[in-house]
Structure 1
Amino acid sequence: MGKIICFISEDFADFEITLAFHKIKNVGKKEVLSMGYNLESVISESGLYYKPNLTVSDALELDDIEGLIIPGGPIRNQQKELTELIIKLDQEEKMLAAICHGPQYLGRAGILNTRNFTTSCSVERIHKLGVIDPFPRENYLNKRVVRDGHVITAIGRAFVDFSFEIFDYLGVYQDQYEESEQLFKDIMDR
């Protein structure tokens, strides 16, 4: 069973990923881990403290990561090891899912250069912050959720849609669908 990793950093938007991780763990029966640049606790947007299970450097050594989920949060610098992990997982065609401002990390890693994506991070916001735009805007789609291969992106207010796109990709509810289909078939065959 592969691990689903969540990158957490100071002021990350925890509400955007709690539904996804609740169902991934409890329905999908997958191992979920939080990951930070170091093992120090961070405070989310909601004011809750989160302590990472592993560092990005630790994650680079793992060979059983099934996917990486990146919640939104402030626009900030990106450390080299996170870029390396994103590129590694992309080359392995593992799920890369990012919501709200989270796609900034995929953009800086070059993952969005050949894929359609969405984000809550507007051009106007980037200009107001005075930072380099991490996004190849020619691939931007004005949609709630965009899935392009193994890459899933969403705007922040679409966290439920984002979660269900992840569930579909990972087959979280596949057993329930198969059971329902079989039950329906059995009823129709009577």
Structure 2
Amino acid sequence: MGKIICFISDEFADFEITLALHKIRNVGKKDVLTVGYSEEAIVSESGLTYKPDLVFHEAMALNDIEGLLIPGGPIRNQKQELTDFIIKLDEESKMLAAICNGPQYLGRAGLLQNRRFTTSCSVERITQLHVEDPFPRDNYVDKRVVQDGHVLTAKGRAFVDFSFEIFDYLGIYADENEKRELFRDIMDR
């Protein structure tokens, strides 16, 4: 059984990844593990407390990772161990999926230099924060979800679309009717 690793850090937007992780674990039958910079508990944007399953040196030692999921959260500095982990998975062509401000980490790792991507983080927001823009804006696409090879990015409000893009990429639903039913259940009003 392959593993999907989810990066968590203070104030991460847990709501953006809940649907994806629920279906990856319960329908896709994949192990879902969280990774953090330390073993310390983390408080998400919603106020819930999470304790990482792994730290990066432990995650680097795993050999059955299928992908990394990066939720949104504040624009913040990036530690080298996250960059190294992203580069390793990229070299192995593993799924790298990031939503909202999460693509900032892919940008700082150099993965977006030659790939199309999207993000919720505007140039105006970066200017307001007085930080270096982690995004190569020439490759930005103003879409809800963008897939370029094994890299999937999404705007924060597109968390349902993002989840379904991940399901397709990982082959979670072998039967197209089952996938359509779930989408209808979620999107019907």
Output the TM-score relative to the length of structure 2.
0.92
Q: Give the CA deviation at 1:12.
A: 0.3
The CA deviation at 1:178 is: 8.6
Counterpart secondary structure, 1:68? strand
Q: What residue in structure 2 maps to residue 51 of structure 1? A: 51
AA at the equivalent of 2:24: I
Q: Number of paired residues?
A: 179
Q: CA deviation at 1:177?
A: 3.3
Residues of 1 paired with 2:29 and 2:150: CA distance? 20
4+ residue stretches of structure 1 with deviation over 3 A?
177-180
* Equivalent residue number for residue 90 of structure 2: 90
1:1-190 equivalence runs, <5 A: 1-174=1-174, 176-177=175-176
- Secondary structure of 2:11's counterpart equals coil
Q: Secondary structure at the match of 1:10?
A: coil
Residue 28 (structure 1) shift? 0.3
For residues 93 and 18 of structure 2, the distance between their equivalents in structure 1, rounded to whole angstroms, comes to 24
Letter in 2 for 1:29: K
Output the aligned Cα RMSD: 1.3
Q: Distance in 2 between matches of 1:51 and 1:13?
A: 15
Q: Please state whether the residue corresponding to 1:112 is helix, strand or coil.
A: coil
The superposition leaves residues 91-134 of structure 1 with CA deviations (integer Å, 9 ceiling, x where unpaired) of 00000000000000000000000100000000000011000000
Larger Rg: 1
SS in 1 for 2:153: strand
3-state secondary structure, aligned to 1:114: coil
Note the C-alpha offset of 1:20. Answer: 0.1
- With over 3 angstroms needed to count, the CA separation of the structure-2 counterparts of 1:179 and 1:131, relative to structure 1, is closer
**3-state SS of paired residue (2:112):** helix
Q: Calculate the TM-score normalised by the size of structure 1.
A: 0.92
Per the alignment, residue 185 of structure 1 pairs with none
Question: Which one-letter code corresponds to 1:12 in the other structure?
Answer: F
The structure with the largest helix share of the pair is: 1
Displacement of 1:64: 1.1
CA distance in 2, matches of 1:130, 1:112: 21
- Residue by residue over 1:67-89, the C-alpha shift from the partner in whole angstroms, topping out at 9 and shown as x without a partner, is 00000000011000100000000
Aligned CA distance change for structure 1 residues 62 and 124 (closer, same or farther; 3 Å): same
Paired with 1:135 and 1:58, the residues of 2 have a C-alpha distance of: 28
Distance 1:179 1:103, change over 3 A: closer
Structure 2 alignment gaps of length 5 or more: 180-189
